[in-house]
């Protein structure tokens, strides 16, 4: 076994690898850029080696620097994590030539599966079902249209070198094709330096299901079963689970057999993933093989009990797999939520800045579920624009799917982030949806369920009860602390502008009781854990635990529970009467505005008055904290006014562009 390995990555995955290496008694050396000095992974590694400035092209992607760092540290092997150099056969060969072990598959397998066109050919030869389409290269726009008509619309245009959801478009007509073909070619050239493009049939209402395989250098290959990753935004995974709710045992076995056949065809060793797109009828077709550790590998670890990083290290060191297929089984269900620094209320605009607060859910066995939080940052850390905007991968496990989802709801409640926009309320909304809970998934799920984007969710009955009870309890605690306790028991709780009359009392166990007059409901709030200044309120409402995010605002409280947030006021009946007579202040409509998400300097404005802009196009670039932040249109529109120019300083929420 190795005595020291080098980690050629950063963030969450570097932390993940260090944890396993430590447990195995292997020392770790970590490379880092300027931006990652002092990061969590940096603190955890036994040794750190600086390799350059923040942009990955000047640090994490420079092979010479990585090889040099291996030499300096005396490490015997390199774990590349995912992204960066993880699927680069040139890098894997280079290490081999230098006598350094690559903790991943052999370079031949990486190369064979490295581009989508070649890998589809290998797959077809290995008897794997592939998406009907054109396997060859397409030279011209006219040729593309001709092939698309042979395949039949809708057709997917894909960059052969694509990855991470980039370089993919759907065409429904010749016109789409004419435009899309050139667009994908151009995007592929910029993003991957390779403009080869191919076409395949677009599978309608598809699901993304993948098989985790694991091999060694002695010809043994097993399947660690399936994961479903259908909850995606712009072809990027957001929520994953294992196993897939779609598969029955027969389909699972057929998919596993095909994945193993493909892996065998390229002498696969190490961990890898064979991705399929599946129809609702359980038909399935090969998409691509990722020859690396996958972002969502924790859900597989949770249902199989196998540590994939450990197995990658052992396989790289030449050990045989310690188990056979017969010894592997699926136990329970696991869900993963990718917590991203992006603002769901603003069209999922990437958000950067300092994580001024970060309370994480407790890991390990909880009441009925298990929590695992793979995080690469701590409170006080900076989320920078240079890398992936992922803050953490929150996983839960339970014996059943519904229990794992309910565990995820609780774990999301226990995740408190401040300082950057984040998608926790959005993830919570999905966990509450009947469609998600029933397992009727599709890669169009987010588009179907949130056609107008995300504005939070209406509180359901329990969430409404939490809003009312939390506000009433906070009001009691604050009045008591003010030293002027009132004996009043009758209050009106306004949730936004909806009035609920409550009568407060305490029962023998000192729990707060709330009688909701006229609503034929009584609530009981016990085990209250909150004091002024805390941003989280914990308690048991009618004997089930909850955590709400709370803040005091001018005339009440802003409270969020799951995806439901409201302004809640606790008023005397007299005050409530007066309040009801106040005209409602209409909230400013900001949907047509692009506002600066932070104080900074305008680097450039990319649009002019009268210009037509499509959703996703760059509107402006703002520099803040020495970093550039690209602001994109979250909908199609025509520019009505432009409020700033290059060089202008701007405050948070300053209007940069207004659409008509
Ligand atoms: P997974 O397929 O493991 O779920 P993603 O597709 O989200 O993961 O990609 C994993 C990581 O690798 C992300 O950080 C993504 O940005 C990066 N990535 C994937 N493919 C490429 C590529 N071809 N070029 C650059 N980065 C990539
Ligand atoms: P990447 O390398 O970016 O991960 P993939 O080929 O894995 O690219 O495709 C990414 C996603 O796009 C898939 O998860 C799936 O949702 C969708 N997709 C890809 N190919 C098809 C297809 N032929 N039909 C329908 N959806 C597809
Ligand atoms: Mg993929």
Q: What is the CATH number of the domain that holds 621?
A: 2.40.50.100
Q: Is residue 554 part of a domain?
A: yes
Residues marked active site are found at: 288
Average pLDDT of span 290-309: 98
pLDDT band at 136 (very low <50, low <70, confident <90, very high): confident
How many domains, the chain? Answer: 6
Reported as a pLDDT band with limits 50, 70 and 90, residue 653 is confident
Identify the pLDDT of residue 471.
98
DSSP 124: H
Question: Is the separation of the CB atoms in 431 and 409 below 8 Å?
Answer: yes
Closest CA to 301 of 216, 393, 221: 393
Whether the per-residue pLDDT at 599 is higher than 80: the answer is no
Give the angle 293-296-297 at the CA atoms, nearest 5°.
50
pLDDT confidence tier of residue 615, bands split at 50, 70 and 90 = confident
Judged by average pLDDT, the poorest of 7-11, 113-117, 223-227, 434-438 is: 113-117
Assigned domain for 154 exists: yes
Residue 110 and residue 67 share a domain: no
Q: Residue 572: which pLDDT band, with cuts at 50, 70 and 90?
A: very high
- For the segment 35-66, what is each residue's pLDDT rounded down to a tens digit? 999 999 999 999 999 999 999 999 999 999 99
User: Do 176 and 91 fall into the same domain?
Assistant: no
In a domain, 301, yes or no: yes
The number of helices, as runs of H, and strands, as runs of E, in the chain is 17, 40
- Give the position, in ligand 1's atom list, of the atom nearest the Cα of 388: 14
DSSP 104: S
CATH code of the domain containing 65: 3.40.50.20
- Ligand 2 test: best mutation among 152, 194, 206, most atoms within 8 Å of CB? 206
**How much is the average pLDDT of 546-572?**
94
Q: What is the DSSP string of 26-39?
A: -EEEEEEEGGGTT-
Average pLDDT value over all residues in the chain: 94
Instruction: Collect residues with CB below 5 Å from ion ligand 3.
Output: 275
Please tell me the distance from the alpha carbon of residue 462 to that of residue 541, in angstroms, as a whole number: 9
pLDDT of res. 625: 57
- Is residue 474 located within the same domain as residue 574? yes
| Same domain, residue pair 545 and 644 | no
- Considering the domain architecture, whether residues 487 and 534 belong to the same structural domain is answered as yes
pLDDT band at 90 (very low <50, low <70, confident <90, very high): very high
* Confidence band for 308, pLDDT divided at 50, 70 and 90: very high
At 173 the pLDDT is 95
Retrieve residue 136's tokens: 């060859």
225 pLDDT more than 70:
yes
State the residue range of the domain holding 624. Answer: 593-659
Ligand number with the minimum distance to the CA of 12: 1
211 shares its domain with 310: yes
Question: Residue 626: which pLDDT band, with cuts at 50, 70 and 90?
Answer: low
Pocket test for ligand 1, best of 114, 295, 297 (most atoms within 8 A of CB): 295
The answer for 366, left when phi > 0, alpha when psi is -120 to 50, beta otherwise, is beta
Residue 4 pLDDT: 98
Ranking 157-161, 476-480, 594-598 by mean pLDDT, the lowest is 594-598
Q: Is position 276 within any domain?
A: yes
> Which tokens go with 192?
């991957």
pLDDT tens, 345-371? 988 888 888 999 999 999 999 999 999
pLDDT level of residue 627 (50, 70, 90 thresholds): low
The residue that leads in pLDDT, 599 or 640, is: 640
Is the residue at 230 inside a domain?
A: yes
- Closest atom of ligand 1 to 275 CA is 2
Q: What is the CATH number of the domain that holds 228?
A: 3.30.470.20
Confidence bin at 191 (pLDDT 50/70/90): confident
**Residue 517 and residue 572 in one domain:** yes
Examine residue 534 and state whether it is found in any structural domain, yes or no.
yes
Provide the whole-model pTM.
0.88
Triad 524, 526, 532: Cα angle to 5°:
115
pLDDT band at 139 (very low <50, low <70, confident <90, very high): confident
Q: What is the pLDDT of residue 390?
A: 93
Long-range CB pairs of 60-66, under 8 A, 24+ apart, other chains included:
60/8, 60/9, 60/10, 60/31, 60/33, 60/84, 60/85, 61/85, 63/90, 63/91, 63/94, 65/31, 66/6, 66/8, 66/31, 66/91
- CA 510 – ligand 1 centroid, Å: 53
Is residue 586's pLDDT more than 70?
Answer: no
Residues 414 and 352 in one domain: yes
Which protein residue has the closest C-alpha to ligand 1 atom 12?
83
- The verdict on residue 588 lying in a domain is no
């Amino acid at each position: 076994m190795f005595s020291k390995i080098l980690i050629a990555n950063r963030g969450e995955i570097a932390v993940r690898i260090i944890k396993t290496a430590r447990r195995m008694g292997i020392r770790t050396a970590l490379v880092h850029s300027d931006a990652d000095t002092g990061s969590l992974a940096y603190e955890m590694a036994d040794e750190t080696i600086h390799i350059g400035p923040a942009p990955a092209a000047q640090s994490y992607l420079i092979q010479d620097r990585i090889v040099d760092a291996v030499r300096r540290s005396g490490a015997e092997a390199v774990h590349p994590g995912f992204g960066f150099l993880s699927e680069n056969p040139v890098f894997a060969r280079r290490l081999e030539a230098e006598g350094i072990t690559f903790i991943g598959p052999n370079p031949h397998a990486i190369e064979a599966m490295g581009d989508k066109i070649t890998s589809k050919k290998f797959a077809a030869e290995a008897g794997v079902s592939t998406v009907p389409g054109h396997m060859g290269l397409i030279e011209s726009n006219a040729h593309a249209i001709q092939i698309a008509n042979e395949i039949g619309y809708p057709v997917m245009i894909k960059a052969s070198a694509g990855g991470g959801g980039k370089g993919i478009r759907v065409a429904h007509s010749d016109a789409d094709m004419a435009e899309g073909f050139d667009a994908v070619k151009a995007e592929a050239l910029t993003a991957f330096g390779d403009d080869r493009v191919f076409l395949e049939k677009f599978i309608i209402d598809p699901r993304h299901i993948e098989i985790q395989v694991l091999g060694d250098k002695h010809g043994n290959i097993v399947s660690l079963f399936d994961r479903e990753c259908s909850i995606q935004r712009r072809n990027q995974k957001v929520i994953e689970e294992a196993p897939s709710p779609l598969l029955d045992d027969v389909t699972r076995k057929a998919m596993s057999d095909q994945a193993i056949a493909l892996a065998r065809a390229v002498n696969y060793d190490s961990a890898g993933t064979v991705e399929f797109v599946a129809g609702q009828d359980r038909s399935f077709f090969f998409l691509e093989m990722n020859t690396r550790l996958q972002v969502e590998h924790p859900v597989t670890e949770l249902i199989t009990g196998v540590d994939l990083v450990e197995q990658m290290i052992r396989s790289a060191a030449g050990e045989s797999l310690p188990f056979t297929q017969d010894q592997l089984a699926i136990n329970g269900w696991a869900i993963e939520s990718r917590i991203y620094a992006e603002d769901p209320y603003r069209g999922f605009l990437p958000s950067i800045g300092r994580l001024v607060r970060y309370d994480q859910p407790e890991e390990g066995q909880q009441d009925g579920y298990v929590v695992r939080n793979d995080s690469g940052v701590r409170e006080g850390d900076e989320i920078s624009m240079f890398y992936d905007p992922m803050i953490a991968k929150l996983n839960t496990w339970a014996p059943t799917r519904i229990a794992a989802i309910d565990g995820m709801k609780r774990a999301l409640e226990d995740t408190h982030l401040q300082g950057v926009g984040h998608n926790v309320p959005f993830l919570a909304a999905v966990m509450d949806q009947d469609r998600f809970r029933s397992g009727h998934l599709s890669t169009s799920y987010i588009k179907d369920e949130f056609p107008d984007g995300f504005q939070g969710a209406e509180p359901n009955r329990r969430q409404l009860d939490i809003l009312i009870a939390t506000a009433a309890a906070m009001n009691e605690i604050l009045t008591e602390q003010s030293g002027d306790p009132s004996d009043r028991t009758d209050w009106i709780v306004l949730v936004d502008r909806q009035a609920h009359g409550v009568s407060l009392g305490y029962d023998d166990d000192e729990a707060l009781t709330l009688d909701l007059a006229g609503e034929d409901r009584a609530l009981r709030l016990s085990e209250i854990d909150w004091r002024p200044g805390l941003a989280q309120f914990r308690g048991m409402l009618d004997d089930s635990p909850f955590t709400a995010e709370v803040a005091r605002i001018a005339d009440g409280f802003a409270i969020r529970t799951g995806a439901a947030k409201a302004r809640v006021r606790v008023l005397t009946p007299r005050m409530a009467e007066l309040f009801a007579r106040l005209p409602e202040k209409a909230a400013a409509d900001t949907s047509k505005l692009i506002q600066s998400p932070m104080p900074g300097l305008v680097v450039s404005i990319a649009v002019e008055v009268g210009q037509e802009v499509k959703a996703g196009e760059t509107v402006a670039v703002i520099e803040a904290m020495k970093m550039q932040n690209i602001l994109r249109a979250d909908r199609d529109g025509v520019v009505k006014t432009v409020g700033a120019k290059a060089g202008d300083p701007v405050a948070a929420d300053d209007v940069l562009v207004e659409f008509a």
